[in-house]
Structure 1
Amino acid sequence: MAVNQQAVNQQAVNQRTLGAIATATGVGLHLGQHTRVRLIPAEPGAGRYFVRTDLPQAQPIAAVVTNVVKTQLSTELGAVGLMTQQPAEQPAEQPAEQSAEQPPTVRTVEHLLSALMALEIDNVRIEIDGPEVPLLDGSAKEWMALLLAAGYAEQPAAKDLPAAVETPISVQSGDALVTAFPSSELRFSYGIDFELAPIGNQWHSWSPPCPAHKTTQERAKTEALTMAESFAAEIAPARTFGLADQIDYLRSQGLIKGGSLDNALVCSAEGWLNPPLRFPNEPARHKLLDLMGDLSLLGDIPIAHYVAYKASHGLHIALANKLLARSC
C-alpha cells in the first residue's frame, strides 16, 4: 500500500478550532470583486468549509480535494459533494436549486488554507460574501497575523493523525512534476525555472519544526505555536508573482482583474517592477505556499517529503487526488 493509514506517531492530539472570530476584507485576484471573509470557530468534526453568505440557500463548500472544480492560476472549490457533518450551531438550510452551468464556487482559496494548515486549525466556518477570497497583499502574511491574533482552542475530540507515504507517488506533465517521497518528517521543497534572469532557477525547502503529531496533548502554547511562527516568518510573507509581458493577455481572458503592484510581484526582462523582494527566492517560497494550501485539501497531509518542480495548481491537485486514491 503506497499510503499507510497508520499514523507515524500514536500520541493523542485533540482537534482545534479558532479561539475567536477573525475578519478580513479585500479584492480578489482574478475577479476583482471586493469581498468580506469571517473565520468562525466550528464544532469538532466540522472540518474547514466555506459558506457563501451572498447566496443564503447555497450549500456549504467543504475544503476537500474532491470539491476542486478548477485550477487555472488558482484553486477553485465548488459544492461537488455534501458535507459529512453540519455543525450543530448552524442548522442546514434547504438546498437551493442551482444552475448546472453556474454552481456556487469559491476561488483562490490556497493562501488562506495554507495559513489554516500552519496553525493546524481543523474546524472552521469560513463565511464569504462573494466568489473569491481576498488576495490581501498577495501572500499569507495578513492571514497568519489574523489567525495568530485569534489563537486556537483545543476541542474535546481526537484528531485523526496523519498517514505516512510508504513508496514514492508522482505526477508529471512534460518537465513539470510533483512527487511525494517517504520521509520521517513532513517537508516541502519547490523549484522553479524561468527564462527571465531576475527569477531564473531557484529552490526553497521548508519543514515544520514542531508538527502537532510529534507533540503531546499537554504541550506548552509556545511550543505548539512553533510551526505557525516558523511558517509566518519563512513562508507566509512570500507574495504571488507574475510576468509583465503576460498581463494584457491574462486580463483579456478575464483573469487577474484585481491584480496590482500592491498585491503581486511583477517581473520583466529588466527586473522587478515593484522591488524590494522580501526574500531572494520569494517566488519559489510562494509556490511552496501554494502547494501547502492545495495539499491541505486532503485534511491531514500525509507525512512525506513533497518535491515540486515547475508545477502548477493542476499538478498539485493531481497529486492530492492520487494520494487520496492510494489511501482508500
Structure 2
Amino acid sequence: MENGKLQQTLAGCIELSGKTLHSGKVSKVKIWPGFAGEGRYFEFHSNLIPASIDFVRESLLCTTLCKDGYKIRTVEHLLSALEAKGIDNCRIQIQSLDSEDTEVEVPIFDGSANAWVEAIEQVGRKEALDRCGNNVEKLAPYLSEPFYVSRNDSFMVAFPASKVHISCGIDFPKVPAIGCQWFSSAALDDSYEKHIACSRTFCIYEEVEHMCSMGLIKGGSLDNAIVCSAIRGWLNPPLRFPDEPCRHKVLDLIGDLSLFARSGSRGIPMARVISFKGF
C-alpha cells in the first residue's frame, strides 16, 4: 500500500477539445469519474482500451494504444497529468470529428500537460469507490533488484528505493542550443505542476521536413512546440526553463510509466529511475 492512501478519481467531469499534433485533426476528450479498481481506460467508438502497457504498439514520436483495430495516439501528456495528480480511476471518452476514423489522437494544446493539470485542479478529486461502494487501497509497484535496459546509446536503469525519483538526460551534440542536459525530480510531489507539467514538446527544425514526409506533425506549429535550429538556435523563445526540453522528457516518461498501473494502483514504481536519450 502507498503510505496508507486510498484510490482516487475525479470529483467531476473534464471536457476539452483541440487540434492534434500528428494528424492535425480536432479531437474531443471527456474524462469521467471511475470506479475504484477499474483503473484508467479510453473509450473510442464504444470500444474500451485500458491505459496499459499490454496495449501499447510501437509508433514514431508518440505513445500509441491499440486494441481490436482501434488506435489512440499521443496519450503520454494526458496520462502523465493523471498519474502525477493521483487520478487512479477514470473513463476517458475520446472522439474525432470524422466518425469513420479507426484511430484518434489526444489534443496537443500548447505541447505541455498544463491544460490537463489545470482541468484536474478545477474539478478536483475524491476517494474512488468500487461498484459495491467500498474504498480500495492504492498499491505502488516496487523493485526487488535493479533493472536495466538499453538500445544503442540510450538506456534506462531503475534501482529499488523508498520513494520515487526520476532523472532524465538528453544529448544533442549537433544542436548547441540544446546540447547535453539533465533534470531530476521527485516527480509525484508538488514539483510536477511547477517544474514539469508546463514544459513543452520540442523538435529540431532541420528534421521537420523529414517528419512531414513521414506523415507526422501535420498539426505542429510554433504554438504547440518549441523549435530549435542547429544553426539559428531557438526559433520561438523564450523558453519556460533553460532545460525545458529535458524536463519535457520527464513529463513523457511519467506518462509512459503510468502504463504499468494495474487495477487503479500506481504505475510508477517505488524506485530511482534514470533515463538517458529516452527510447
| TM-score for both structures, normalised by structure 2 | 0.90
Summarize the alignment of residues 219-298 of structure 1 with structure 2, pairs less than 5 Å apart: 227=189, 229-269=190-230, 270-298=232-260
Task: Tell me which of 138, 158, 171 is aligned to 2:136.
Answer: 158
Greater CA deviation, 186-195 or 152-161? 152-161
Is residue 139 from structure 1 mapped to residue 127 from structure 2 by the alignment? no
Structure 2 CA distance for aligned equivalents of residues 13 and 185 of structure 1 = 14
Structure 1 residue 46, shift from structure 2 partner: 1.7
Which residue is equivalent to 1:112? 78
| TM-score for both structures, normalised by structure 1 | 0.77
Structure 1 residue 236, shift from structure 2 partner: 0.2
Identity across matched positions, percent: 44
Structure 1 CA distance for aligned equivalents of residues 43 and 115 of structure 2 = 21
RMSD over aligned Cα atoms: 1.3
Structure 1 residue 141, shift from structure 2 partner: 0.9
Structure 1 residue 47, shift from structure 2 partner: 0.8
Which residue is equivalent to 2:101? none
Which residue is equivalent to 1:307? 274
Task: Tell me which of 56, 65, 69 is aligned to 1:68.
Answer: 56
Structure 1 residue 71, shift from structure 2 partner: 3.3
Name the SS of the counterpart of 1:121 in structure 2: coil
Which residue is equivalent to 1:83? none
Whether contact under 8 Å (2:143, 2:159) holds in the other structure is: yes
Q: What residue ranges of structure 2 are gaps of 5+ in the alignment?
A: 97-103, 129-133
Which residue is equivalent to 1:191? 169
Structure 1 residue 70, shift from structure 2 partner: 2.3
Whether contact under 8 Å (2:37, 2:136) holds in the other structure is: no
Task: Tell me which of 148, 153, 178 is aligned to 2:121.
Answer: 148
Name the SS of the counterpart of 2:30 in structure 1: strand
Which residue is equivalent to 2:26? 34
Q: Which runs of structure 1 show a deviation greater than 3 angstroms over 4 or more consecutive aligned residues?
A: none
Name the SS of the counterpart of 1:166 in structure 2: coil
Structure holding more strand per residue: 2
Task: Tell me which of 153, 156, 160 is aligned to 1:175.
Answer: 153
Structure 1 residue 69, shift from structure 2 partner: 1.3
Q: How many residues align?
A: 260
Whether contact under 8 Å (1:169, 1:181) holds in the other structure is: yes
- Structure 2: which amino acid aligns with 1:20? G
Structure 1 CA distance for aligned equivalents of residues 82 and 277 of structure 2 = 25
Name the SS of the counterpart of 1:129 in structure 2: strand
Task: Tell me which of 162, 167, 179 is aligned to 1:200.
Answer: 179
Name the SS of the counterpart of 1:188 in structure 2: strand
Which residue is equivalent to 2:131? none
Per-residue deviation, residues 110-146 of structure 1 (Å, max 9, x unmatched): 0000000111111111011130000010000111001
Structure 1 CA distance for aligned equivalents of residues 178 and 83 of structure 2 = 28
Structure 2 CA distance for aligned equivalents of residues 160 and 292 of structure 1 = 18
Structure 1 residue 242, shift from structure 2 partner: 0.2
Structure holding more helix per residue: 1
Whether contact under 8 Å (1:25, 1:36) holds in the other structure is: yes
Q: What residue ranges of structure 1 are gaps of 5+ in the alignment?
A: 1-6, 80-97, 212-226, 313-328
Structure 1 CA distance for aligned equivalents of residues 33 and 141 of structure 2 = 26
Structure 1 residue 168, shift from structure 2 partner: 1.2
Structure 2 CA distance for aligned equivalents of residues 78 and 157 of structure 1 = 30
